[in-house]
Structure 1
Amino acid sequence: MSHSPMTHVLTWEIVDNQGYETAWVDLGDGELEARGRAVGISPEPYWIGYTLRTGAEWVTRELRVTAESADGARELVLAHDGAGAWTVDGEARPDLDGALDCDLGLCPLTNSMPVLRHGLHRAGDDERTFTMAWLSVPDLTVRPSTQTYTPLGPTEDGGGLVRYESGDFRRDVEFDADGFVVDYPDLAYLIGRSSRG
């Protein structure tokens, strides 16, 4: 992490699972470290805890997730070597090759990395298609996911609208000037924020 990172505390209401998420995020020069907690009641009551660390250019290096439900607790470690190779709990996952980012299901924070890397919230780039290492919750299944992000223009607060598409799913997501999700229609919206540093 670079010198004197800015720390952000972000809380979203997660519409899709009738829950909430809070993330404590240290955002430095091209790097991000975060820890988060989430609770949801759909498709079943569950808790999620995670820690996320990126390398340079917001490229995921490690995501550690714990999920708890009526079936007990599950843990998973998703790791990227920075050169294109991924492992899940130490097992090689060549199907994820080419991905730079993780995408934790129903976690608005993990939409920030590709947006920050390419300045998409500032309409600074054209449409981009990515492969993501996507984790479903609460079962923590990992699979590759093809996602397209298209900048649509600025918002009044210095952020921007970005169209997110994956398969038949499409939403126009509002990001703030720091690259964090403000409004993800039908999925999540930001209800609390503080910053220091």
Structure 2
Amino acid sequence: MPLPIAVFWERSDVSGAEHALLDASDGLYARGTVVAAKPVPFVCHYEVRTGPDWASARLDVRAEGAGWARAVRLELAAGRWRATASEQGDLDGALTRNGHAQAGLPGCTDPDLLYGAFDVGLSGSPLFTTLPIRRLGLLGSEAGVSHRLSVVWVLVPSLEVVQADQIWTPLGGDRIRLAGETSSADLTCDADGFVDDHPGLARRVRSAS
């Protein structure tokens, strides 16, 4: 069915973009597409759903490029994540031809490592930063008080699923600091918690009307 909100980001780290259609009236339901030119040209389609509390419940992702395609489904059931994955063709061959290391396998070899995570993330996607922002109410939180999270992180384009540690710190107003294991960025958000600017990753593009 048609979804009421459209958001679009232009990537700043590589040539690429993200477009998502979503409904945020009762948690989040979103369908989106990510395209990027590196590490190999690919398109990635996703569908994500949270509960009313914005805790992640399900994520379906499909990625494909010349000569390969991969898919992964993540579902939370009885407090534990279940991952199912498939692959066709030769992503590793496409990566090595472009001077990159081989990719990990799609999915997760040990879903127990994901236990205790309430948020899913998709590398290169600014949409998914909204999930912990809304779930924790970070825009209305006390500035300077940090939240350490364990996140179910899907690497694109390999669709390997890993556990990632993140630290989220409200800075006051519309700004939130996101720190990962190797980098950090000060995000600027709109009043609904969607990212307007993620330095080093993407900037939101709005229509002129």
Report the TM range for the smaller structure's normalisation. 0.7 to 0.9
Deviations 1:129-163, CA, capped at 9 Å, x for gaps: 10000011001010000000000010xxxxx1000
Match of residue 64 from structure 1: 60
**1:56 Cα shift?**
2.6
RMSD over aligned Cα, in angstroms? 1.8
Give the aligned residue type for 1:42: K
Tell me how far apart the structure 1 counterparts of residues 83 and 13 of structure 2 sit (CA, whole Å): 26
Give the number of the structure whose alpha-carbon radius of gyration is greater. Answer: 2
Contact 1:95 1:144 in 2 (8 A): yes
TM-score normalized with structure 1 length: 0.87
Whether 1:89 and 2:108 are equivalent positions in the alignment is no
Contact 1:64 1:75 in 2 (8 A): yes
Structure with more relative contact order (C-alpha pairs < 8 Å, separation 6 or more): 1
Deviations 1:24-83, CA, capped at 9 Å, x for gaps: 010013x100000111001110000010011131111110000001231111101112x4
From 174, 177, 182, the equivalent of 1:168 is 182
Tell me how far apart the structure 2 counterparts of residues 121 and 69 of structure 1 sit (CA, whole Å): 37
In the alignment, structure 1 segments of 5+ residues that lack a partner are: 1-5, 155-159
Deviations 1:1-43, CA, capped at 9 Å, x for gaps: xxxxx832000001223101000010013x1000001110011
TM-score normalized with structure 2 length: 0.82
Partner SS, residue 114 of structure 1: helix
Match of residue 74 from structure 1: 70
Tell me how far apart the structure 1 counterparts of residues 47 and 182 of structure 2 sit (CA, whole Å): 30
Give the aligned residue type for 1:167: E
Whether 1:120 and 2:134 are equivalent positions in the alignment is no
Aligned ranges 1:30-49 → 2 under 5 Å: 31-49=27-45
Tell me how far apart the structure 2 counterparts of residues 40 and 180 of structure 1 sit (CA, whole Å): 21
Tell me how far apart the structure 1 counterparts of residues 128 and 55 of structure 2 sit (CA, whole Å): 11
Where does structure 1 differ by over 4 angstroms across 4 or more consecutive aligned residues? none
**1:124 Cα shift?**
4.7
Contact 1:161 1:172 in 2 (8 A): yes
Contact 2:122 2:156 in 1 (8 A): yes
Tell me how far apart the structure 2 counterparts of residues 172 and 88 of structure 1 sit (CA, whole Å): 31
Partner SS, residue 38 of structure 1: strand
**1:93 Cα shift?**
0.7
Q: Aligned residues, how many?
A: 182
Aligned ranges 1:116-155 → 2 under 5 Å: 116-124=134-142, 126-154=145-173
Percentage of pairs with the same residue: 35
In the alignment, structure 2 segments of 5+ residues that lack a partner are: 86-107
Match of residue 13 from structure 2: 16
From 21, 25, 28, the equivalent of 2:25 is 28
Distance 1:124 1:27, change over 3 A: farther
**1:193 Cα shift?**
5.8
Give the aligned residue type for 2:183: F
Contact 2:142 2:172 in 1 (8 A): no
